[in-house]
């Protein structure tokens, strides 16, 4: 499927730097990824791994004061079929793409909605801006969108303000807003992290259904490996600003070939298995130490200081991505032993 479908997003060699007092630090480096129509790629990693910086870079939402794309390309296939490199576009051109070709959903629905406008105003705004629709028809479209994202009594809800909705309903409303102009790419940055688990299940189910119906490409950023297995076709595991392992979710999770991915999977208590572990007196396989600071990166593999497979060679240079199989890659020189 990933071969046959057309590529919507193609990121090559992306490097994003942050300005700090001491100069600049590299937040993400050498990111290559692509997402095809109808496909979901999950970017997974812990705090500071660079997953959100990657998604913000794709959307060009990093302000100049904070950081900038220093190298690489971000090619997007727009709705008209033309492929553009977002890195080279002006801010004005970017504005015509955000909300139209790219829909975005963020973690905290309350802060991505404006408290002084009604839900209907906010969902119809992109339709009016990008499509030039009049107020009335944009509001009708908003009602139909709310209906599609499973908000009951949509005609009444469009007149309400964000504070009148529950957390789950608000996230549904931001999804409606993101989908208003039929984007080819949906970027979802931790969209279920602030939600309770029963509501998370509803939202994941909704996103999957909408993606199937619309054939969108989806870039899904999360720290939750369970959510990845639930929603994504492929996964890219990030650590300290680089992709360390990538491939189909089934391959990567069943047969991880990077010690970090292995460590992450092993450090999670698993429902149903935890009782056995407790009775056997087994400890959770915690990863020792912590993520290195961006200001003070190891010269070689960034995971080497925490890695039980590490050898002298790991300290020499940043390892390239090795092919485990045609679609499964690992940034570990010892991947064959892992």
Partner 1 sequence: MSAPLLEVRDLAKQYTTRGSTLTILQNISFDIGKGEVVGLVGESGSGKTTIGRSVLRLIEPSAGSVRFDGTELTELSASQMRRARPRMQYIFQDPFASLSPRMTIGEILTEGLKIQGTGNSKERLDRARKALEQVDLPADAVNRYAHEFSGGQRQRIGIARALTLQPEFIVADEPVSALDVSIQAQVINLLRDLQQRLGLTMLFISHDLAVVEYICDRVIVLYLGRVMEIAPSAELYADPHHPYTRALLSAIPSPDPDAHRNRQILKGDIPSPANPPSGCVFRTRCPKAISRCAEVVPELRETAPGRFKACIRDDLNGSVS
Using the rule CB under 8 A, give the single segment among 56-64, 72-80, 136-144, 195-203 that binds partner 1: 195-203
Using the rule CB under 8 A, give the single segment among 13-21, 28-36, 127-135, 268-276 that binds partner 1: 268-276
Q: Are strands 322-325 and 242-248 parallel, antiparallel or unpaired?
A: unpaired
A 10 A CB-CB count for 206 gives 17
- Whether the CB-CB separation of 75 and 267 falls below 8 Å is answered with no
What is the nearest approach in angstroms of partner 1 to the Cβ of residue 67?
A: 22
Using the rule CB under 8 A, give the single segment among 21-29, 95-103, 164-172, 329-337 that binds partner 1: 164-172
Regarding 270 and contact with partner 1 (CB under 8 A), the answer is yes
Provide long-range contacts, Cβ within 8 A and 24+ apart, for 313-322.
318/242, 321/32, 321/243, 321/246
> Which region, left, alpha or beta, applies to residue 50 given φ > 0 means left and ψ of -120 to 50 means alpha?
left
- Whether the CB-CB separation of 76 and 8 falls below 8 Å is answered with yes
**Secondary structure tally for the chain: helices H, strands E:** 12, 12
Draw the binding track, 41-60, toward partner 1 (x: CB under 8 A; -: no contact). Answer: -----xx-------------
213 Cβ neighbours under 8 A, 6+ residues apart: none
Using the rule CB under 8 A, give the single segment among 5-13, 108-116, 262-270, 330-338 that binds partner 1: 262-270
Regarding 295 and contact with partner 1 (CB under 8 A), the answer is no
Regarding 202 and contact with partner 1 (CB under 8 A), the answer is yes
What is the nearest approach in angstroms of partner 1 to the Cβ of residue 205?
A: 6
Regarding 166 and contact with partner 1 (CB under 8 A), the answer is yes
- Whether the CB-CB separation of 43 and 72 falls below 8 Å is answered with no
Regarding 21 and contact with partner 1 (CB under 8 A), the answer is no
Q: Which of 4, 254, 280, 312 binds partner 1 (CB under 8 A)?
A: 254
What is the nearest approach in angstroms of partner 1 to the Cβ of residue 251?
A: 9
- Whether the CB-CB separation of 120 and 185 falls below 8 Å is answered with no
**Considering CB under 8 A, how many residues would be counted as binding partner 1?**
49
**Full DSSP string of 17-36:** EEEETTEEEEEEEEEEEEEE
- Among residues 95 and 253, whose Cβ is nearest to partner 1? 253
Q: DSSP 3-state assignment of 290?
A: coil
Q: Which of 20, 155, 290, 299 binds partner 1 (CB under 8 A)?
A: 290
The residue among 130, 34, 29, 103 whose CA lies nearest residue 75 is 34
| Cα distance between residue 331 and residue 319, in whole Å | 6
The CA-CA-CA angle for residues 64, 66, 72, to 5°, reads 65
What is the nearest approach in angstroms of partner 1 to the Cβ of residue 63?
A: 25
Regarding 205 and contact with partner 1 (CB under 8 A), the answer is yes
- Among residues 267 and 311, whose Cβ is nearest to partner 1? 267
Regarding 278 and contact with partner 1 (CB under 8 A), the answer is yes
For binding to partner 1 (CB under 8 A), which residues are involved?
Answer: 46-47, 166-169, 196-202, 204-205, 223-230, 249-250, 253-254, 263-265, 267-272, 274-275, 277-279, 283-288, 290-291
């Amino acid at each position: 499927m990933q071969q046959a479908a057309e590529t919507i997003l193609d990121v090559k060699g992306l490097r994003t730097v942050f300005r700090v007092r001491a100069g600049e630090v590299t937040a993400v480096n050498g990111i290559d990824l692509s997402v095809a129509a109808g496909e979901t790629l999950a970017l997974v990693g812990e705090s500071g791994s660079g997953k959100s910086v990657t998604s913000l870079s794709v959307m060009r939402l990093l302000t100049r004061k904070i950081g900038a794309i220093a190298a690489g390309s971000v090619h997007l296939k727009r709705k008209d079929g033309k492929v553009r490199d977002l890195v080279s576009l002006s801010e004005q051109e970017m504005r015509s793409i955000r909300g139209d070709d790219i829909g975005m959903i963020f973690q905290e629905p309350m802060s991505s909605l404006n408290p002084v406008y009604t839900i209907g105003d906010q969902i119809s705004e992109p339709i009016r801006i990008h499509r030039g629709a009049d107020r009335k028809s944009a509001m009708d479209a908003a009602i139909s969108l709310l209906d599609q994202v499973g908000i009951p009594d949509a005609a009444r809800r469009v007149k309400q303000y964000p504070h009148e909705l529950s957390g789950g309903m608000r996230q549904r409303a931001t999804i409606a807003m993101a989908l208003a102009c039929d984007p080819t790419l949906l970027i979802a940055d931790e969209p279920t992290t602030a939600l309770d688990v029963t509501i998370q299940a509803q939202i994941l189910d909704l996103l999957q259904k909408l993606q199937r119906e619309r054939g969108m490409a989806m870039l899904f950023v999360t720290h939750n490996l369970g959510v990845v297995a639930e929603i994504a076709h492929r996964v890219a595991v990030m650590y300290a600003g680089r992709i360390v392992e990538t491939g189909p979710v089934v391959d990567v999770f069943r047969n991880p070939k990077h010690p970090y991915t292995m460590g992450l999977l092993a450090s999670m208590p698993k429902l149903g298995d935890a009782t056995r572990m407790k009775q056997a007196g087994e400890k959770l396989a915690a990863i020792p130490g912590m993520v290195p600071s961006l200001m003070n990166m190891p010269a070689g593999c960034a995971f080497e200081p925490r890695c039980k497979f590490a050898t002298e060679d790991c300290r020499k240079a940043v390892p390239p991505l090795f092919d485990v199989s045609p679609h499964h890659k690992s940034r570990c020189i010892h991947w064959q032993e892992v």
